[in-house]
Structures are given as C-alpha cells and as structure tokens.
Structure 1
Amino acid sequence: MQTELAPEFQNTPDGREAEAILRKCVHCGFCTATCPTYQLLGDELDGPRGRIYLIKQVLEGKAPTRSTQMHLDRCLTCRNCESTCPSGVQYGHLVDIGRKIVDEKVPRTGKESATRWLLKEGLPSPLFGPAMKLGQSVRGLLPEKLKAKVPVKQGAGAWPTRQHARKVLMLAGCVQPSMMPNINSATARVLDAAGIETVIAKEAGCCGAVKFHLNDHEGGKAQMRANIDAWWPQVESGAVEAIVMNASGCGVTVREYGHMLKDDAAYAAKAARISALTRDLSELLPDLVKSLKPRVKAPAGVVAYHPPCTLQHGQKLRGGVEVDLRALGFDIQVARNESHLCCGSAGTYSVLQPELAYPLRDRKLGHLNQLQPSTIVSANIGCITHLQSGSETPVRHWVELLDAALAPSATSA
C-alpha cells in the first residue's frame, strides 16, 4: 500500500513504523472475515482493512473526525486479523499508533475523558485492591452492570515455602491479586510441585498495557521501565530461568517490551532481554506434565477451554494448553465454532464498548455451552471475569483446575 506521509509524520518514529506496516498491506480483505466487530456490524470501517485506510488517510494529512475515532475505538485489538493476514501486517502496532494520533487531534467528551482517565489511573493504582474489597463486601447490593465487574470474593490459599534450585519470576499483576488471588498462588503451588520456585519482585506493578492501550503511551512505558528495573537484578545475575506470565494479556505486552522501548537508548537492550525471557505459563506445561502426571487426579466432566486472543493471536500460542491438560487426564475441549473469535473482554473494552462486548460474550458462551461443560477455563483474568459475568457455569484459570487436582502430598513442604 503506497503511502505519502504528511510532513508532520515524516522522520518520526511513529511515522516510520506506520509507513513500514502500511506498505505490507495488499488490500486482500482476508482479515475482514475474521474480525469480530465486522461480523457484528457489517461495516467496512469496523474491520481491519477499513481501519487501515482511516489511519493511512490521517498519516497522509487528512483531518480525523469523531467518526474516525469511533471506528478505531471499536477495535478490540484482538489481533485475529494478524493470524489471518498472508502478508504479515502488524495491525496491532499500527492501530496503537493511529489511535494515539487521532486522540491528539480529536477532543473527547468530558464523560469519555473522565472514564478513560479513571480506568488508566485506577486499575493500576494501589487503591484498586481496597476498592475491590469494598465492592465485594456489598456485591449483593450493587447494580447488575457494576456487579458484573466485581467477582465473588476468593481465597488465595497457601503460598508454598519450599526453596528450589530452579526459579522463575512472575508478575503479580495489578488487578489479578485483588480480583482472583488464587490464580497466582495456584501457579506457585503447581510450579512448586514440579520443583520450580516462584519469585515475585514487589516493586513490579502493572505491565503497562492499560495505559498504553488507552493512548497514554508515555505512562505505559514508564510502568514498563519500572518493571524492568524491578526484575533486572534477578535477570542480570542469572538467578531465574524465565519470567512467567499467567495472564496472557500481560504476557503479550511484556513480550513486546523490546519493541515498545526500542528507541529508548537506556532501556532498549534490557527490554529486549526481558522480552526474550518471558514465557506464558502454558509454555512450561510440557515439562510439568512429566513430573506432575503421577500426582494428578483429574475430575470427571468436560472442561471447555476458551483460548484468549492475547494467547492465540498476540503470542501465537495455540493448542498447547489443550494437548498438555489432556495428557494429564482432563477431558478438555474447545468449541468447534468460532474458537478464534474474541469473547469481548479485551482489557477495558467491555467497559468502554459494552454494546459490542456483551453480544460477543454471549456468542462465545453459546458455543462453549454446547460442550455441556462442568467448568469453563481460560488463561487471562479479563476473559475469565467477562465470561463469568454471563455464565452460570464456573469460569476459572486452567492452572486453578490443575492445582485442585494435585494430590496433597505433591505440594507439601
């Protein structure tokens, strides 16, 4: 796709990157067929190809409008289009650039600005935990829309105390410890049972995705640098073999630290090292199967698995969870229809675009429920919370299921 950048974007990092991405696009439209918002709305401008044209026009000097902003806002950034694209167009990076430029040129309403500010500042804030506890204590009194965002209070269980020669770092995350603390402790217990110690750097906080994807790129990058600083002593000394992510939304972001900080002279090399060390928890599963299989007693019943977009499209990790959990004795199945489509969670999307997020959730649950599962599992806190808000079937992280199936002796000190 030929592009003539307007003078204001020539020789800028964003301009150069966007132009390189645009030049890979061949207008084929394969991406449109797998775009969730296009499937719902049937509007070319609510599909990747249409949004690419909108971004191209802005980069070439055409003034963006509220309509431009709306169509870009409606994108889930699920990156399904990247899995479909035969030309390797990095649409996710392009839409991040396009949204930032459009937001700088198109004012938002006061309500929109306030909501987006509250999300980007509130979710990573230390005050989020106390606010969530308060919400859980009065959950039964909350309006249904707010109640859907406040999961039932969950216990975390015991954190293992054994020390092991093998160690991995794990990002606790910003919302996960408050909303579903058992995911992190279950991860630590499962790894402990396999002879791996989980280390958390207390100074590490939000991965940076919330701010970055709400167009506060500098705020997001500041959080990325803070995490790198928190992890670097363990990484530099070789004390840990990997940085393990049990929330695929955080994982896809940390795996791209090297890209996002490539122009930062002080952090580029460190960020690339951090990205190279980052692993989704599922990537450890093949090794865990060997040591845990004798200790696992899988429960009866079908387990329906929803692969998050950030795992299957963002990190290009497909099939591993299903194969390895089956090897451990679980009857885990994936919906035959539309398993590639987004559930509608997409970070803060379900708050900002509920009219699209909830139909996508119900569509996803319809396919999953056809499996008649006893449990639905996923690999990302956002997907789990969003699906559970519309499901009577329990929705959990797959590692919680594995943790519960371990014989008690497997995790004893």
Structure 2
Amino acid sequence: MSDQTYGFDTLQIHAGANPDPATGARNTPIYQSTAFVFRDAEHASKLFNLQEVGYIYSRLTNPTVAVLQERIATLEGGVGAVCCSSGHAAQIMALFPLMQPGCNIVASTRLYGGTVTQFSQTIKRFGWSAKFVDMDDPKAVAAAIDENTRAVFCEAIANPGGHITDLDAISAVSDEAGIPLIVDNTSATPYLVRPIEHGATLVVHSTTKYLTGNGTVTGGCVVDSGKFDWAANDKFPSLSQPEPAYHGLKFAETFGPMAFTFHGIAIGLRDLGMTMNPQAAHYTLCGIETLSLRMERHVENATKLAKWLEADPRVDYVTYAGLESSPYNHLVPKICPRGAGGLFTFAVKGGYEACIKLVDNLEIFSHVANLGDTRSLIIHSASTTHRQLTAEQQEAAGAAPNVVRVSIGIEDAVDLIADLDQALAKATA
C-alpha cells in the first residue's frame, strides 16, 4: 500500500498484504514451509548477520505470519510486531529483552487469572518477580517502582470485569520512572483502544480472542511503539549493549526504533521458539478483516445486556464500564470512545451455587474458557480461570465466588436476554 493515510476499516483488510507475486492470489497464502531457499551464499550470510531482512526458517520468519505482524502493528500504530504461539507466550516475549535475574515488574491487580499465576509464580523461575498494584491509584504504582523495576504491566480493558485503565495516568508514571509501559489490549482490540496513543511502549495481544474472533486458533502478538529510548540508561543491556551472538551488534544502535522488534525475532523467537504457525496466522488475518464490524456489534449487545442485567432483581451488580453507574464510565470517552467492549461480569444473588446453576442451564451461551468469540460465552472464574488464586486475589481481580464473566457475542440480543432470563430463574429459584 502507498503512504496515504487510510481508515481503520480499509487497513484491517489491506495492511501488510499484496497479491501473491507468483500466482496473483488475492488472499494471503498459507506459506506452509519450514525453510526458504537462499539466492546464494552471500544472501544467506547477510540474513544470518541481520544485514538483510528476509526468510530463513519458519521458527523465525514466515511470509504469512509477516503479513499478520504488519497488519496488527499498523492497526495499533506501532513500528513493528512479533507474532507468537499464544497470548501467554507474548507476555514472556515482551518481558524477555527487558528482564534480568533480580528484576521486577509492577503489574495490575486486575489481570486475567492465568496472567496473575504466570507473574506471581512462573516468572520466579527466571529470577524475576512481580508487584501487584491497583492501577486506579497512580501514586501507588509510582511508590511500587524501585531501582530493579523494568516495566509496568496492565490491561486496557481488564479481564474479567471490563474495568478501564486510565492509560494516560499510568504512562505518566512509567515515563517519570524511565521504564516501559506494557499494555495488554486483548479485551479492547485496536478498534476500541489504541494504547500507544496513550503512552504505551509495548502492546500485547492474545490474538486467540477478538482479533481472530471465531475460536479456531491460538496466537499472540507483541507490538512495538518504536518510541522508547532503550539506550537512555543501563537498565536494558539486552537492547543497548553488545550482543555476543551477533559479534557485538547493539540492537538499539543498529535498528533504532525497530530495536525491540528485531530483538524479538533474532533472539526471542530464535531461542524461545514460541512460533506462530502460518495456518494460525491465516485464520487470524481472515478474522481481522471483520474486526470493526464485530466489535461494533459486541459493544451494542453488551450494552443492551448489561442494562437489562443491572435492572434485574436477581443480580447484585454489573461491572460493565458502559453503564452510567460504573465508576469507570467517565474513562470511556477518553480511552475507548467507540465503546467499553464486550466483556464484563455480574454477581448473582445466591452466590457460588447460583452461579454454577446459571452456567449449567444456559442454552445459547457456551460455558468455555475463552472470550472474544462471535458466540456468547460465560464462565465462573472463581472455579476455573482464577481458581489458582487466593480468595484475596480473586476479589482484587474481580472474580469473586458470586461472580460470572460473560463475553457477549454478535447474536440477536433479544435471544441472549431470553437465555439469561430462563437460566437465572432456575439458578435463583
């Protein structure tokens, strides 16, 4: 595509893609190949020395995946992106160039349960640690940052509760500390929230969710804003200091704004091997083509259902930020002016047992550990996705025992309300 500025709906279909030069195929082909033939020995040498960009081996680079990387980076307003095998892989890929043993991150208390477990337990094996702080309190975030902190991590629209993070306030804190802000934009997508415009350094996605949109494949992505100076201090030696594996090359010096992206491929994918397969990239590319249309319907339906649930006497409360009663409603015009997303929780009168009966009696809603599907989904987080957390962590994350999470799909809203109505009647009888 030319340098002309195009709208979101155009970019979600065309960014990164051209007709296949060999066949003229209009859709991006699935390049199901492990390796790619070099033109000659000099070409191979330049590729391995990072002197030329191209395709070597699909653990590192693949033409189908490359189109997806460029498309997501374009939609997010970043300079580059690295796709990988899952959202959890993307989180490790984002942290990998930043961290050393003894370093920590400051993370939101409102995160997907699996992320809380990854940050509170798994990363300890790397010698890293996490401090969990309420992102509603920027002063508490600032107070938690110390000389060993290497990033602040939050979700734009938090899973499970749909709480909105004031990204401008949090990025001001991370900027003052001279460390990157990493924003998980899975629940919002770049159609609703563009974290880089609010000061984010890196954006991560589970492409499994809304970007693919149909529950078919797993994937992850890390988008680089290109705006962080990795050589401003000595906190990020992987990016600012000589890299022994590439004869002393300095990523920040050599690649400038693209330093993080090149490191993610040349070091991260090379050594961690969290590769996205080309078929998964193809499915996600197909999904992104309808992203704006789907997100509009997700928001429309979520708003209707949240209002209906809030007025229902069988429901204690609803956390949807699109409701005027939400303490996060004032952030919608600033952070996500196109809507508050399709994800939220509600508390059922009758507690844990009523929640279990509710999910067991729904007919249209599917009881699954996923979100962002065209289908409406429900899960009782305290007994599933957040089960490994303590009671205090569950409460902080918005996944108390009396709460269910819903991911509102694009079905007829009247049918969804009727389904919830009959299941709530059985759950609270």
TM band (smaller chain): under 0.3
| Larger RCO (CA under 8 A, 6+ residues apart) | 2
TM-score between the two structures when normalised by the length of structure 1: 0.27
Which structure has more helix as a fraction of its residues?
1
TM-score between the two structures when normalised by the length of structure 2: 0.26
